[in-house]
Amino acid sequence: MVTEVTCDSCQNISKATFQCNHLNIPVYPIQVFNSPFSKAIVEQLNKTEDLDGLNKYYCERCQKKTCAEIKYCAKSLPEIFIVHIKR
Nearer to Zn ion among residue 15 and residue 61 (C-beta): 61
The residue ranges of DSSP E strands in 18-85, in sequence order, are 48-51, 57-59, 64-66, 68-73
Nearer to Zn ion among residue 41 and residue 51 (C-beta): 51
Min separation Cβ 5 and Zn ion, Å: 10
Min separation Cβ 51 and Zn ion, Å: 12
**How many Cβ atoms are within 10 Å of 14's Cβ, its own excluded?**
16
Length of the chain equals 87
Of 28, 46, 48, whose CA–CA distance to 37 is shortest? Answer: 28
Nearer to Zn ion among residue 9 and residue 46 (C-beta): 9
Binding-site ranges for Zn ion (CB under 5 A): 7, 9-10, 12, 59, 61-62
